[in-house]
A and B are shown apart, each in its own frame.
Chain A
């Protein structure tokens, strides 16, 4: 898709920007890529991978693995909250979290099924996620954590859309993206009324005013890093 970007209204500017962004990202982490060549040789046969490296390939498979990881993290997050809810969690909160947990499990199993043997070996074995950056003992803390994760997912999906080659994947991801955005708006409103489309996610001024958050795969990997026990290398996706 991006190959044809020169026919766009402003594709030239975009491509120049993309190139600069990619060039710096690649320079900064070429050492990581080289170090990660053996990523599929993880000898750890146990479920609950606690170390290693996941390198996302620069193609649709890499993108699906990244969104597979997002779904895994969020399904685990909602399940963890439901298993040990904060004391001030209401029945309505629980019902919403059950819905969101079920949606995330549906996404996770969809990606697992679509990836088949192309699933990243660490993701296939199951990762032990670390949610200690969040305060999960209060309703407020739980919703703040959900806000962070849902906004990140919306930004991630908005960032990978144009990088997908197989349009049928994009169609499915679009169907998921808007539900993620609905999750995000809902949990944001619970943390702070009317923050569903706040200035921290919807660009408030300038040429992109009114547009929702967008994250590059490398930004997504960086933001997910504290939650994941393996090193995430998403640089290849920046070349798409």
Chain B
């Protein structure tokens, strides 16, 4: 890329733009530079190079795409929790205990903090925020089709199940999105720190559901009770989570990637330390628990679509 030419064009853009950027012209220019770099370099080089040969089509998501998606997930969550807590006019609070409410408030507040952060990053980068979508958490698309979760606004168990699904989903999708900001240390850290916060939320919701009688661990497990007739988009949230095959590329001292190695959990690694030892099948269930799997953005987009109209 002709760097000086790019800077000159950004300067032009800044001086001729109708948008009022006078408050922080330098920051805006830098932000736009980030955005321009993003647009010019889709399908991050590092990520592309390290894709195993078995990977599917090359995704070309930009950093802006990533931020819009993570902001969308936070906004959806905020609305879901706000309605459940009775913070949205027209939606009565769910019959939750005071302790349960207090925990959900923590999640709701952290959703709003994430919306603020991602919104700031998006607008600093020169992009505009999308209009707030309309939500229908029953999944009926405002009564135009049969509801998927008809009692979500009255039954805490239904609400908590949907909340858990959305959090487990966020955890999976953050993992895949990190690959598309791979050259940006600040954004990597922001995504990693959001990702682990989402996992804390997910575990809390799972603990809450278990306390209310659901068969579910605080970590995603093959031992969790399967969802009863989930919509296809929701079923995909847990697709592949029971995977026991973990692979990595070896790397040479100079950073070049070597062959793909499969971690021999099912053969030579001495991981079965219980007394008495677990069955081979049971120890591999623990392996599945020990690794949360990534999911592509489309999995999240399809779930969000269930609840927006």
Contact = CB atoms under 8 A, between A and B. Distances in A.
A56 interface: no
Interface stretch (A121-129, A134-142, A189-197, A222-230): A189-197
Contacts of A196: 103, 106, 200-201, 203-204, 207
A109 B197 contact: no
A14 B186 contact: yes
B221 to A, nearest CB: 8
Nearest to A12: B30
B219 A166 contact: no
Interface stretch (B10-18, B143-151, B288-296): B288-296
B185 A11 contact: yes
A58 to B, nearest CB: 12
A154 interface: yes
Interface string B13-33: 000000000000000001101
B302 interface: no
B304 interface: no
Interface string A180-200: 111111101100011011100
Interface residues of B, number: 85
Given A179-B219, A212-B194, A9 B125 contact: yes
A202 B193 CA distance: 9
Contacts of B271: 102, 105-106, 109
A171 B51 CA distance: 11
Nearest to A159: B189
Contacts of A19: none
A103 B52 contact: no
A210 interface: yes
A229 B290 CA distance: 28
Contact of B31 (A9, A99, A109): A9
A11 B185 CA distance: 7
Contacts of A101: 273
B308 interface: no
Interface stretch (B82-90, B128-136, B153-161, B257-265): B257-265
B103 to A, nearest CB: 4
B186, B201, B271, most chain A CB atoms within 10 A: B186
B199 interface: yes
Interface in B173-190: 175, 178-179, 182-190
B204 A1 contact: no
A174 B178 contact: yes
B211 to A, nearest CB: 10
A161 B174 CA distance: 13
Interface string B270-309: 1101100000000100110111111000000000000000
B203 A210 contact: no
Contacts of B171: 178
Interface string B192-213: 1111111111111011000000
Nearest to A59: B253
B269 interface: yes
A209 interface: yes
A113 B185 contact: no
B181 to A, nearest CB: 8
10 closest A-B pairs by CB: A210-B113, A181-B199, A167-B50, A185-B203, A182-B203, A8-B184, A178-B199, A211-B193, A4-B183, A185-B200
Given A211-B193, A212-B194, 18 more contacts: A1-B46, A7-B33, A7-B34, A7-B37, A9-B121, A10-B186, A99-B289, A102-B273, A166-B50, A167-B179, A171-B179, A172-B246, A178-B292, A179-B289, A181-B196, A210-B194, A212-B200, A214-B189
Interface of A: 1-2, 4-5, 7-15, 18, 59-60, 79, 96, 98-99, 101-103, 105-107, 109-110, 113-114, 154, 157-158, 161-162, 165-172, 174-186, 188-189, 193-194, 196-198, 201-202, 207-214
